[in-house]
Structure 1
Amino acid sequence: MAEDYILETRDLTKEFKGFAAVQGVDLKVRRGSIHALIGPNGAGKTTCFNLITKFLQPTRGTILYNGADITSAKSADIARLGMVRSFQISATFLHLTLLENVRVALQRQLGTALHFWRSESSLDVLNDRAMELLEDVGLGGYATQTAAELSYGRKRALEIATTLALDPELLLLDEPTSGMGREDIGRTADLIRRVSKDRTVLMVEHNLSVVSDLSDIITVLSRGEILAEGPYSEVSKNPEVVEAYMGTGLEANHG
């Protein structure tokens, strides 16, 4: 049933001067799932993400969100519809405290998102919700610290908190554990699991142990096309997938 899917792409294709970076991708993201998009370097993952979030316009194909055609919509429009890409719309200011960072993102609810000259007291109504969001991402104890004082992994958690302030129905995460050490990776994976409880998550992720741990469904891209799709237990045994990962097998890339 179409209503089971929050996001669909049909024949999604992007060509750059005759080169097809994404070719005929039919993607279906089931509502309430964690869906991972993986593949070797140059597979078209980032291009696919940029097409879905409308930072690129497809050469051809259709993108449906909650059954509505958003192929021609602008990036800001789909964010307002509830599809939000983390680390790109989030408002993270290094000189502000964590509480202040989340309040800036919450200002959209007051219709004063760009009114930085408003008195600080006018934003106090947002404090409780801002603290709730910080608690949700494990940063409640750091509310009065500035963002500049955070570790890299906790900065990422703050970015997710500011994204959640937009109350997304579909959260798109682009390489959420990139550049992190083992401890931050574990913390971020736990965070993704928590925030997925009442929303859908689509993520591009290179760390296959995170993918296998979190994902309900995995779509493997290779050379711009879907190579395989299914749960990790099936996809990791697919000979074509193993070959796409340079013949070493997925387990060699695990971690």
Structure 2
Amino acid sequence: MNRESDIILATKALSKSFGGFVAVNSVSINVRRGSIHAIIGPNGAGKTTLFNLLTKVHQPTSGTIEFNGRDITPLSSPEIARLGLVRSFQISAIFPALTVLQNVRIAIQNRGGRSFDFWRSKTSLNRLNDEAEKYIASVGLEDVLHATAADLPYGRRRALEIATTIAREPELLLLDEPTAGMGSEDVDRTTDLIKKCAADRTVIMVEHNLGVVARLADTITVQVRGQVVAEGSYDVVSNSPIVKQAYLGTDSE
């Protein structure tokens, strides 16, 4: 594989301003195919804004985004999702009144921009069950297949959200604070799950827990006040004086 084809996503001088405030300032990153790439930084670093640009929640003020060598800067969120770039949000985006199985089945229906098809017969929808159960088992929720999502503990709801995300079969999975608000047991379980999910896809994650980052990330990009100040392995960035001053010595998000 040549050097260019090894890059699944690249940003070039990507910027976003809100009025006079520059939230993302000329960010250029290259994400290697098959890697886990973490984005870290203190409060107000612009990490979530960068994610919003990558998934087209916001349009950039300037700069470009390329996915698999294609300029996706002008595309909408649904269009890039159909290309295989899918985001799991920091706030859980599941249907709380539906069961675990129903949530994942809906994600399968919506794969590639297809309709939810609520009008389809129960028999027809049940044909999706085998596939849905495969994704549910992959995140360790097979024992709560028919439980209502709202009744799940917080960590297991987040696992369900990851199941609904991977059910859309993304080539590139973006995780926004996947361990936020979790106790240590759920953090360990979710870390293992992310590692498992990354076995056959690329993952970009914003994460505040440096222990999780150290355990998972192949490459870490450090943002401060909208700019990239360091990039490399955990050992490289954790020993950077700029990072120690701006991030590691302060309260994290």
Scaled by the length of structure 2, the TM-score of the pair is 0.94
Instruction: Look up the match of 2:109.
Output: 107
**What is the SS of the residue equivalent to 1:3?**
coil
Instruction: Look up the match of 2:245.
Output: 243
Instruction: Look up the match of 2:120.
Output: 118
Of 93, 97, 100, the match for 1:98: 100
Instruction: Look up the match of 2:22.
Output: 20
Root-mean-square deviation (CA, aligned residues, Å) is 1.9
The alpha carbon displacement at 1:159 in A equals 0.6
Which one is further off, 84-93 or 28-37? 84-93
Which one is further off, 138-147 or 238-247? 238-247
Residues 59-208 of structure 1 aligned to structure 2 (within 5 Å): 59-87=61-89, 92-108=94-110, 113-208=115-210
Aligned pair count? 250
In structure 2, C-alpha distance between the alignment counterparts of 1:16 and 1:110, rounded to whole Å: 32
Report the CA distance shift for 1:71/1:39 in structure 2 as closer, same or farther (over 3 A).
same
In structure 1, C-alpha distance between the alignment counterparts of 2:34 and 2:148, rounded to whole Å: 33
In structure 2, C-alpha distance between the alignment counterparts of 1:129 and 1:150, rounded to whole Å: 21
Of 222, 226, 231, the match for 2:233: 231
Does the 8 Å contact 2:90/2:178 carry over to 1? no
Instruction: Look up the match of 1:39.
Output: 41
Scaled by the length of structure 1, the TM-score of the pair is 0.93
Task: Spell out, residue by residue over 1:212-244, the C-alpha distance to the aligned partner (whole angstroms, 9 max, x if none).
Answer: 000000000001110000000111010000000
Report the CA distance shift for 1:110/1:232 in structure 2 as closer, same or farther (over 3 A).
closer
Aligned identity (percent) is 60
**What is the SS of the residue equivalent to 1:130?**
helix
Q: Supply the AA of the counterpart residue of 2:237.
A: V
Task: Spell out, residue by residue over 1:48-82, the C-alpha distance to the aligned partner (whole angstroms, 9 max, x if none).
Answer: 11011101111100100000000010010000000
The alpha carbon displacement at 1:180 in A equals 0.8
Report the CA distance shift for 1:90/1:68 in structure 2 as closer, same or farther (over 3 A).
farther
Report the CA distance shift for 1:17/1:87 in structure 2 as closer, same or farther (over 3 A).
closer
Does the 8 Å contact 1:11/1:26 carry over to 2? yes
Does the 8 Å contact 1:90/1:160 carry over to 2? no
**What is the SS of the residue equivalent to 2:223?**
strand
Q: Is residue 52 of structure 2 the alignment partner of residue 50 of structure 1?
A: yes
Q: Supply the AA of the counterpart residue of 1:15.
A: S
Which one is further off, 193-202 or 15-24? 15-24
| Structure 2 gap ranges (5+) | none
In structure 1, C-alpha distance between the alignment counterparts of 2:134 and 2:93, rounded to whole Å: 17
The alpha carbon displacement at 1:91 in A equals 5.9
Report the CA distance shift for 1:173/1:111 in structure 2 as closer, same or farther (over 3 A).
closer
Q: Supply the AA of the counterpart residue of 1:226.
A: V
Task: Spell out, residue by residue over 1:97-148, the C-alpha distance to the aligned partner (whole angstroms, 9 max, x if none).
Answer: 1111111111135986332132211112111111110010111111011111
In structure 1, C-alpha distance between the alignment counterparts of 2:135 and 2:26, rounded to whole Å: 38
In structure 2, C-alpha distance between the alignment counterparts of 1:112 and 1:51, rounded to whole Å: 24
Q: Supply the AA of the counterpart residue of 1:14.
A: K
Does the 8 Å contact 1:177/1:188 carry over to 2? yes
In structure 2, C-alpha distance between the alignment counterparts of 1:16 and 1:111, rounded to whole Å: 30
In structure 2, C-alpha distance between the alignment counterparts of 1:246 and 1:35, rounded to whole Å: 18
In structure 1, C-alpha distance between the alignment counterparts of 2:140 and 2:39, rounded to whole Å: 26
Q: Supply the AA of the counterpart residue of 1:50.
A: N
In structure 1, C-alpha distance between the alignment counterparts of 2:111 and 2:15, rounded to whole Å: 35
